[in-house]
C-alpha cells in the first residue's frame, strides 16, 4: 500500500509500530537492553534463530523506525543509522574494504571526509586518488586493479559542482567497484542516487534530515545484502558508532517536515541567488538552479525538485570585503553548519577550507572573496536586507 505514496506522505506514515498504548506520535524507546522471556529465548535471539531486539548497540525500535522512514524516502531496500555523517562514511569503508584496497574520490568533498581518506585510512594501507568532481575521464583513468570504492558528493561544497551520478555508476560497474554518494545537500526530496545507479547512499542526518540544528546523526542506505551481509551493519554493531534512540527520534520527527522544508529552502535560495546576481559588487554566483550554472542541464535532470539550499557567491575585494559581509549581518548566524532552519554564513577560505594549502585552495577555486550561505527558512526579504548591509557598505 505504501509503494504508491508521495514522499511527504511516506515521511508521515512509514516506520510506525504502535505500542500497547496506541500512541499517535511515535514513541521513544530509551533503553540500552531488552528483556527475554526465558533462557531459551535469549539463546535463540543471540544465535539469530529468532529475530528481535537484544541490545541498543545492535538494534533499537526507535532507530529502526527512523531507518524504515528514511529507506522509504530514498527508495532503498535497507538503511542502517549511525551516530554521525562521518561514522556513516567510516562504516562503508570498514564494512566493505580491506588493507590494500583503493578508493577514488571527488576532490570536492566535505573537509573531514578528505581528512579521513587521506590522513587516517592511508595508515591502514587504503589509498585514495582524488579526481575532479566533473571530469568522468579522470575517474576512468584513476581506476586500478584494487579499486573498490568510488565516492562523491553532489552538489559539491562550496562551489556547487554537479557530478554525473549515472555516468560514474557506469565507471564503477566497469571497475567492479561500489559507487557511494553522499546525498547530504540534496536529501531524497531532490535527488535519489540509488535510482541513478549508486550502490550506497550516505547521509549526515545532522543537516537537512533533522533540519533544525539539534542533533548529530547519519545513515547508510542501499541493497539489503550489501548493508546487512556485506559487513556494514556488522561493523556498526561490533564497533559501536550506532545512532542513539533519542537522536533517532528527533530525526524521525524531522523527516515529517522534510518535503516542505526542502521546497522552502530551494525557493528561498533561488530568490537570493537571483538577487545576488544583480548586485554590482558580486562577481559570481554559484547555484545549480541558475541558468548561468555551467551544469544547469545536468542539475535539472539529476535534482528533480530544485537547486537546494546552498548558494555560494564571490564579492569584489577579496577576504576583507567578504568578512565585511559576514560581520555586518545581524540576522544570519556566523557558523559553518548547514541544513538548519536558521540561515548560516561562512567564509570557506578561512574556515571549512582553511587548513588546506593555498595552492590546493587556488586549484579548487576557493578564493578570498568567496562566501557560502546556507539559506534557512526566514523571509528571503529579511535575508537580502541582512546581506545588503555588508555588500553596500
Ligand X SMILES: *Cc1c(COP(=O)(O)O)cnc(C)c1O
H helix or E strand, kind and range, residue 314: strand 310-315
Torsion of CA 35, 41, 43, 46, to 10 degrees: -60
Residues β-bridged to residue 362: none
Closest approach of ligand X to the CB of residue 172, in Å: 19
Which grid coordinates are listed for 176? 567492479
Q: Closest residue (Cβ) to ligand X?
A: 85
Binding ligand X (rule: CB under 6 A), the pick from 26, 182, 314, 340 is 182
Q: Environment class of residue 119 by beta-carbon count within 10 Å: exposed (0-12), middle (13-18) or buried (19+)?
A: exposed
Q: Residues 124-153: x/- map of binding to ligand X (CB under 6 A)?
A: -----------------------------x
**Among 337, 18, 310, which residue's Cα sits nearest to residue 157?**
310
Shortest distance, CB of residue 3 to ligand X, whole angstroms? 29
ω into residue 158 within 30 of 0, thus cis? yes
The site that binds ligand X (CB under 6 A) totals a number of residues, namely 15
Q: Which of 90, 216, 266, 349 binds ligand X (CB under 6 A)?
A: 216
Shortest distance (Å) from residue 228 CB to ligand X: 23
Among the listed ranges 60-68, 84-92, 166-174, 252-260, the one in contact with ligand X (CB under 6 A) is: 84-92
- Which C-beta is closer to ligand X: that of 111 or that of 317? 111
Task: Determine which residue in the list 207, 259, 265, 347 makes contact with ligand X, applying CB under 6 A.
Answer: 207
242 scored as a contact of ligand X (CB under 6 A) = no
Non-local (6+) Cβ contacts of 198 within 8 A are: 165, 169, 179, 180, 181, 222
The answer to whether the beta carbons of residues 261 and 341 sit under 8 Å apart is yes
Residue of 66, 86, 175, 177 interacting with ligand X (CB under 6 A): 86
Give whichever of 181 and 226 is closer to ligand X, judged by the CB atom: 181
Q: Does 85 bind ligand X (CB under 6 A)?
A: yes
Residues in the chain: 393
84 touches ligand X (CB under 6 A): yes
Q: Binding residues for ligand X, per CB under 6 A?
A: 84-86, 110, 112-113, 153, 157, 182, 184, 204, 206-207, 216, 218
Amino acid at each position: 500500500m505504501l509503494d504508491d505514496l508521495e514522499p511527504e506522505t511516506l515521511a508521515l506514515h512509514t516506520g510506525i509500530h504502535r505500542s500497547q498504548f496506541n500512541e499517535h506520535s511515535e514513541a521513544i524507546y530509551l533503553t540500552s537492553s531488552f528483556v527475554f522471556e526465558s533462557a531459551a529465548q535469549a539463546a535463540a535471539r543471540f544465535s539469530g534463530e529468532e529475530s528481535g531486539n537484544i541490545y541498543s548497540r545492535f538494534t533499537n525500535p526507535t532507530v529502526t523506525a527512523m531507518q524504515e522512514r528514511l529507506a522509504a524516502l530514498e527508495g532503498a531496500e535497507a538503511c542502517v543509522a549511525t551516530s554521525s555523517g562521518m561514522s556513516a562514511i567510516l562504516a562503508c569503508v570498514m564494512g566493505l574494504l580491506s588493507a590494500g584496497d583503493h578508493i577514488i574520490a571527488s576532490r570536492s568533498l566535505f573537509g573531514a571526509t578528505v581528512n579521513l581518506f587521506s590522513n587516517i585510512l592511508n595508515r591502514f594501507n587504503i589509498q585514495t586518488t582524488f579526481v575532479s568532481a566533473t571530469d568522468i575521464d579522470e575517474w576512468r583513468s584513476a581506476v586500478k586493479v584494487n579499486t573498490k570504492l568510488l565516492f562523491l558528493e553532489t552538489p559539491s561544497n562550496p562551489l556547487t559542482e554537479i557530478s554525473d551520478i549515472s555516468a560514474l555508476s557506469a565507471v564503477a560497474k566497469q571497475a567492479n567497484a561500489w559507487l557511494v554518494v553522499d546525498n547530504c545537500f540534496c536529501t531524497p526530496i531532490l535527488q535519489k542516487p540509488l535510482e541513478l545507479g549508486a550502490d550506497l547512499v550516505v547521509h549526515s542526518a545532522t543537516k537537512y534530515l533533522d533540519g533544525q540544528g539539534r542533533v548529530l546523526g547519519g545513515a547508510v542506505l542501499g541493497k539489503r545484502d550489501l548493508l546487512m551481509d556485506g559487513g556494514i551493519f556488522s561493523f556498526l554493531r561490533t564497533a559501536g558508532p550506532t545512532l542513539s534512540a533519542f537522536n533517532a527520534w528527533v530525526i524521525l520527527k524531522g523527516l515529517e517536515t522534510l518535503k516542505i522544508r526542502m521546497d522552502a529552502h530551494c525557493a528561498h535560495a533561488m530568490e537570493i541567488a537571483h538577487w545576488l546576481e544583480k548586485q554590482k559588487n558580486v562577481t559570481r554566483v554559484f547555484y545549480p538552479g541558475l541558468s548561468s550554472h555551467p551544469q544547469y542541464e545536468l542539475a535539472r535532470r539529476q535534482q528533480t525538485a530544485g537547486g537546494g539550499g546552498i548558494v555560494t557567491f564571490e564579492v569584489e575585494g577579496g577576504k576583507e570585503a567578504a568578512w565585511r559581509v559576514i560581520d555586518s549581518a545581524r540576522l544570519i548566524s556566523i557558523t559553518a553548519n548547514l541544513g538548519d532552519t536558521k540561515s548560516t554564513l561562512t567564509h570557506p577560505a578561512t574556515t571549512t577550507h582553511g587548513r588546506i594549502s593555498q595552492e590546493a585552495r587556488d586549484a579548487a577555486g576557493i578564493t578570498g572573496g568567496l562566501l557560502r550561505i546556507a539559506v534557512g527558512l526566514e523571509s528571503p526579504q529579511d535575508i537580502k536586507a541582512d546581506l545588503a548591509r555588508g555588500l553596500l557598505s
